[in-house]
Structure 1
């Protein structure tokens, strides 16, 4: 099967210019920054919440007691919605085509439906004024108020199905097979040959990415070069070579028998937090932001000491989930039923073992939200999916909801928790309908 990079490269990418360290090409206009997109308490604009991928909205106030649906909507699929103020955005579709839709958060009514066609399931990324949507042939910017397309990649290329991160006036994403920085005009202002499986964390002049086999820190000031004999219209944009852009990588050498990093890392202060899947379970690695040195690691099952036999992981075992990085702690689940909160030094602050396996976490204010699945029940059986709210400071339960099928996503914004639940499947198990609930 061809690699995604091979599939995505469909033509030229504009020459890089304007960003520190990039080569400027004669006649190319200067960069135009995107508006500041720092999220507030009423927002959840991307999969990782903010540019650091903390998955934590400090000032949001989700329900402290069991919520009820304020409104519901059904779609063919809607996965993880994103929110900017009073606009909720998601990708969905019908039998004819896929599209992006904007809803009012107040009542769930549809405000607009895009003409642009996204990949489908991937989550859009919301800037200050637009929803940035990845498609098989281009990346699009859709006005949050009107639904009109007001931005697109210049020139068009297929984009990473994972979407991007808006930071420091640019949209960072894998675009045309290169990890790229696009500006307010849609032009690529910087690129490197590195991969980025999921939306990166971007802090200052460094992007932190997951490449399945490694976690890497990329120097966004590394010089992007174009060789004199390369054609501007060919498959390779001006870009920084992998070696030039790479500040550090963990593990230092990629291996197809090592751990797998399926989620982008989170960054807080001097530390980078990354979850990995290994042969015997999951782990959370705390790495030095400056050089990638491992500060500490926790794993499930716990890693054996010298001379100690391996210990079995709790059953069942899934992939570890991206961590929630709050003000004074990092919370994760490493592929089992145990939610684990640690301080910055790796000392356990609390643990909470839930009834079912944890497949997702999000933090808002003083609340931690956990998506759960009961693997012992048929996927369309009563109680298969769940949503559990814990006290972020202590791990004590606050409330829980049970559903008859998968919970596909959870998004806390303001005083509302938006949950996506599978409600119908075709023969063979293919999802045919998902319900979006606004819980308050």
Structure 2
């Protein structure tokens, strides 16, 4: 028997191909080197600054000034209706040349606008011109609605801005740094305009006299300014300014408003409502006493001859209020917060204050060292006197309310107390036994 040949063995399965090795990850690209920071722009200095600026002023009523420090050695010829401002993004400074003894701008009967310029009076190199009107940065006479906005006035050896009979002037958003006197205004009994949202700063580095002095102004508004340091290095001479060393001094003026200002320490005080000030409103300010020691303990004054019909309301005082020396009558003093340092008096009412209301005020000592008096009513010996003390809160004094005449003698008239509250005073109401009260005080 023949057997069949055996079936051939199956071919072995091919070995699987090895998996390809993974491609190596690409090396990360090196981070690009950071671009170098741009070099700070260099602002050119032009020694022929007066000529350059005057050429621009002559060329257009809309004078656009390129970046630069323009050294000023002569007056700038501002035209009626002109608007002067930096070019877009430009930094522009007008700086007094060291040997220059004059002004930057003298304007007569022109209306113009200046915005965004730095005016540098070079005080450090022009000390000999201190307080001299020939070195005012701006002298403005006449013109209507002159507008000075968002500028910087620095290192002025005299007035930064001097104005006369320039109605409705607008001084807004400027910075005044180390100016001998930033603003001196004589409105010549015209509607005075607005001084608002400016910053005033002086230190002991340069002599100064006052921040704002205004006279013969009608309906002036001083609003929203931040102020500190007037007169802390006293001026060499006070000239015709009998009252100095204050942030704000306004006199021979009517209908003005001082509101929403924040005033730090100055040499004498924050505010003087001066002689012949009538129909005045002082409201919602923060005032601070001066650096003078006992003479600077009061933060505001209403006491010069002819000052009357004044509403003083909603203010916060660090330091007292003095009224009624040779003037300061027909006053309404309401809803103020008065904090009194040692040695001070909350509301010091001298003899000329005979008619008015002191109501709703909080008058308190700064610390445990008791000042002498919260409210002092002095020399109320006129039978026409009518002073109402209503709903005040008085705390922390030797005498909460004190009443007296010269020599502790005579009769006191017309003082009425009602609804006042007292705390932590050694005596709430004090009257010498030698004084006769025409009518009982009421508390």
TM-score of the aligned structures, taking structure 1 as reference length: 0.24
Max Rg structure:
2
More helix by share: 2
TM-score of the aligned structures, taking structure 2 as reference length: 0.24
